[in-house]
Amino acid sequence: MIIYKNSLKSFNTFGLDVTALKIIKITNINELYYIWEKYCQKSIPYIILGNGSNVLFLNHFRGIVIINRLKGIYINETQNHWNLHVNSGENWHQLVKYTIKKGIFGLENLALIPGCVGSASIQNIGAYGVSLQNFCKYVDIMNLLNKKITRLSCIECNFQYRNSIFKNFYMHNYIIIALGITISKKWKPNISYKDLNHLNLYTITPHEIFSYICTIRKKKIPNPKIYGNAGSFFKNPLVSNKLGIQLLKTFPNMPYILKNNIFKISAAWLIDQCNLKRYIKGGAMIYSKHSLIIINKCKAKSKDILYIAIKIYNCVGNKFGIWLEPEVRLIGSLGEVHPSSIFFHNH
C-alpha cells in the first residue's frame, strides 16, 4: 500500500491540479479492507480510480482517493475459446497488446482505449464496431460493507451504450474486482466500421487492425501527457426515428447509424455545426482535430473545462433539440455528481 501526497495532478488525465485528503494505491484486497475500515466506514468520502482517464474533478476532493492496482491475468482455454480472468487494476490497452502477443485475437478493435479493466466494465467501452459486452462473460464485484464477492453474468451487468449496472445499482459501496472475458478461437475481422471498411476482409490480420486503429486514435486524440484530456467528453446521442428523419430533412449530410429504429448521431459533427471549433475559455480549449475532446491547453482550471462543456451542451441543444450526455464522470468535493445537477435544460 502506497500513500501519496495529496495532489491529484498525476492521477487524472486532464492534469488538473486538485487535491484529495489522501491518495492511497492498493495492490491487493486486504489493503482495500484496511482502508475501508480505517477511513471509509467513518463516513469519510471516497472514490476508486483506475487511471483517472474518464473523470473531471470539479473541486478539491474532501476524501480518500483509492487507486486500484489489483493486477493479474489468468488464461485457460477450451477447444473453441480462450477464457481470461483479468483483475480490475490491469491497464486495458496493455491487456489488448498482451492478448495479441499471445495469439489471442478479437480485442484489437478496442486498442488504445485509456483506463483500467474495472472502468472498462463500468463504461462498457467500445470503438470501431466492437464493445466490451461482445466479450464479457462475467464481472466479479465485492460489497465493501460485508466483503461478499458476487459474480454477475454479462446479462446481469445490463450493458448498454457507454452504460452498465455499475453506474447506478452497484455504484456505491461496491468495487469491481475482476472481469471474465471469452474470445472465440475462430477469429473473424470486424471491419464493418466506416473507418475500416476499405480494408481487405480476406487478407487483413489482427496485428494490422491493431496497428491501424492505434494510428487512427493517435491522430484523433491528443496525448494526455502533452494536452490533458479525458477523450470524448460527451456520448454520441441516440435519438428517435422521428427526430432523426426530421433532422435529415434539414441536414442531409448528417452522419448517423440507424439501428432498431434508433439514430446514433455523431456528437462531434453536431458540435462542428455550432461553430465551436477551437473555442477557448481560460486554459481549456475544444481540440482542433476532434470537437468531442476538451483539452487542458495551458494550466486550465476545472471551471474552464466545465464552462466549455456547458457551452457545447446548450449550443447543440438549442440548435438541434438534442441534449448531449457527458461520458466523463463528474467528481465534486464529496463524490460523484449526477450530470443533471450541472447540465439541465427547460423544455
Catalytic residues: 162, 232, 327
Chain Cα centroid distance, residue 207 = 24
Query: E strands within 187-335?
Result: 238-240, 256-259, 262-265, 280-281, 284-286, 294-296, 329-331
Inter-CA distances, 40 with 6, 104, 315, Å = 17, 40, 40
Alpha-carbon distance of 44 to 58, in angstroms, equals 18
Q: For residue 118, give the C-alpha cell.
A: 474495472
Amino acid at 206: P
- Closest by Cα among 232, 226, 230 to 127: 232
Chain position carrying cell 467528481: 331
Q: For residue 66, give the C-alpha cell.
A: 483509492
Q: Does residue 164 contact residue 118 with C-beta atoms inside 8 Å?
A: no
- DSSP label at residue 210: H
Q: Does residue 144 contact residue 175 with C-beta atoms inside 8 Å?
A: yes
3-state secondary structure 18-44: CEEEEEEEECCHHHHHHHHHHCHHHCC
Write out the H or E segment, with its range, that includes residue 267.
helix 267-272
What is the Rg, in whole angstroms, of the alpha carbon atoms belonging to the chain? 20
Alpha-carbon distance of 211 to 222, in angstroms, equals 17
